[in-house]
Chains A and B, each alone.
Chain A
């Protein structure tokens, strides 16, 4: 009997692992108890920024290094990746936050009000300077998850709506649900909104720094924007609070008053699965391989984790993010 890998969980982790294995010719079965990707998965709510350099502000070095490979991988899997860079801004009295951000990150340069006017005309006159990260990209997570589902289907791998079998060749990609096996996995709650604001055209993700309430906006096209995201130490995956939504919306309004007229399309919430160092890893426990801990870097780091998983399973290469004890 030939070996069939059983991938359990079809969020960004499971789908990426299954796609990578299947692409390399390995037989795969993919299970999700909730069926194809949808609001039940944390991945559904992500912003979709592929911003390894911006993340360097607070993340450990590997995030920057591995994150740079994400855009190409997603494109090779049929996702539509926009490579317009990203912009980082701060309101008048928070300018020091911007200086701090520039000290902690790489691969950026300063823009003055004129540059800004050329790049994002809507911001002209509202901000006198910005940090520009030209090598960053973004995607629409739901489109990207759909692309992986489609690629797999073309290779005759369908998502099976079932719990899956936790047998020897199981690859556990259950996200936060794997807390039942991984005691150091915790949830970091994130709340987000989707807004429609046809008056505004932004072409790239915009981060607005603030000491307490930093936000970002990711354009989804046709005047639709994802507005994110809170970061709260909590496993709660259900309740978006008035406070969080108010804070996110006020910041968006401060970024541009036209958001006052925007339509609220969605209010979303989920908890990101994270290990204590906020880095993802492969972990072997009782013969099962766990691929987890993507934290706020699901789309940024799933490609690398998927490659590491395939390298390990198919070529016995010991990956950087493996913990096997």
Chain B
């Protein structure tokens, strides 16, 4: 298992905590899927409330690592303030950095992202940047001090899966030693399995589980798919070929050219 800022996670499944029918169902989804990380949206949920938010107490009681995020932030400044608030609230240096470029697609703003990442890294945060799958952006974020990258699969909440397989593969190939997490866009367990099969280290999802008819079942389905994907990657899959290739020569037939 990859190392996330010095931490080895017990499972490559990270789950968001919003939109569940109830906290009780959220808790069950975590318990039954053994998810290792819970992301929490500080800004939208909190209203800058400091002590005594019972929902956060509940999240802390899940006993998993908390990864606060800066969801809903459109500027570097907002993102930084939110990250600082999160560090105080959850007593963690981890932050999932979101700098959103468009209110409708919730697509990351790569320019603001690099700037905010630089500043947060200087302040001693462990930054998990939510990014597009662009290679140069990845390089800039690493230069800015990030040790983990979180490319999207597709836009937040769409459930479209891994939209740009080529881009995601080259990201994996270019940065073989950087922990990579697919963040956003996953709708089905098979898509999560695909990410792990490609060598991604973890996946982060929320809507696909929280808004399923039975979130607990769906969380378990993702956990199993992820386990399968991870196992498949470790097993070193065969190289696909673009024509059927008999494994023994077929007698009496001319070789195809």
Q: Which residues of A contact B (CB under 8 A)?
A: 58-60, 100, 103-104, 179, 184-187, 189, 211-212, 232-236, 239, 241, 243, 276-278
Say yes or no: A58-B54 contact (C-beta < 8 A), given A234-B46, A239-B47: no
The reply to whether A276 and B22 form a contact with Cβ atoms under 8 Å apart is yes
A234 touches B45 (CB 8 A): yes
Q: Are A233 and B53 in contact (CB under 8 A)?
A: yes
**Contact present for A103 and B49 (CB under 8 Å):** no
Report whether A278 and B22 are in contact in the complex, using a CB–CB cutoff of 8 Å. Answer: yes
Q: Judge if B27 is at the interface, Cβ distance under 8 Å.
A: yes
Interface residues of B in 226-243 (CB under 8 A from A): none
CA distance A232 to B45 in the complex (A): 5
A-B contact pairs, 27 of them (CB 8 A): A58-B21, A59-B21, A60-B21, A104-B213, A184-B54, A186-B23, A189-B47, A211-B207, A232-B44, A232-B47, A233-B45, A233-B55, A234-B46, A234-B53, A234-B55, A235-B53, A236-B49, A241-B47, A243-B72, A276-B22, A276-B24, A276-B58, A277-B22, A277-B23, A277-B24, A277-B25, A278-B23
Taking the closest CB of chain A, its distance from the CB of B187, in whole angstroms, is 12
Interface residues of chain B, those whose CB is within 8 Å of chain A, are 21-25, 27, 44-47, 49, 52-56, 58, 72, 157, 207, 211, 213
B27, B44, B56, B211: most-surrounded residue (chain A CB, <10 A): B44
Is A278's CB under 8 angstroms from B21's CB? yes
How far is A211 from B49 in the complex, measured between Cα atoms in Å? 25
- Contacts A103-B213, A276-B22, A276-B27 supplied; 17 other A-B pairs, CB < 8 Å: A184-B54, A186-B55, A232-B47, A233-B53, A234-B45, A234-B46, A234-B55, A235-B52, A235-B53, A236-B47, A236-B49, A243-B72, A276-B58, A277-B22, A277-B23, A278-B21, A278-B23
Cα–Cα, bound, A100→B211 (Å): 10
Q: How far does the alpha carbon of A34 sit from the alpha carbon of B162 in the complex, in Å?
A: 56
Q: How far is the CA of A100 from the CA of B187 in the complex (A)?
A: 14
CB-CB under 8 A from B211, the residues of chain A are 100
Given A58-B21, A211-B157, A276-B23: A187 and B54 interface contact (C-beta under 8 Å): yes
Report chain B residues within 8 Å CB of A184. 54
Inter-chain contact B54/A179, CB cutoff 8 Å: yes
- How far, in Å, is A28 (CB) from chain B's closest CB? 31
Contacts of B55 in A (CB 8 A): 186, 233-234
Q: A59-B21, A276-B22, A278-B21 are in contact. Are A186 and B58 (CB under 8 A)?
A: yes
Q: CA of A179 to CA of B211 in the docked complex: distance in angstroms? A: 29
B56 contacts across to A, CB distance below 8 A: 233
In the complex, which residues of chain B have a beta carbon less than 8 angstroms from the beta carbon of A234?
A: 45-47, 49, 53, 55
Chain B residues whose C-beta falls within 8 Å of the C-beta of A100 in the assembled complex: 211
For B55, the closest partner residue in chain A by CB is A233
What's the Cα separation between A146 and B247 when bound, in Å?
83
Q: Which of chain B's residues have a CB closer than 8 A to the CB of A233?
A: 45, 53, 55-56
| Distance of A241 Cα from B48 Cα, bound (Å) | 11
Report yes or no: A278 in contact with B24, Cβ–Cβ below 8 A.
Answer: yes
Which 10 A-B pairs rank lowest in CB-CB distance, beginning with the nearest?
A: A186-B54, A233-B55, A277-B24, A278-B22, A276-B24, A58-B21, A276-B23, A236-B47, A233-B45, A234-B47
Instruction: Report chain B residues within 8 Å CB of A185.
Output: 54
Q: What's the least CB distance linking B182 to chain A, in Å?
A: 20
Complex contacts, B72 vs chain A, CB 8 Å: 243
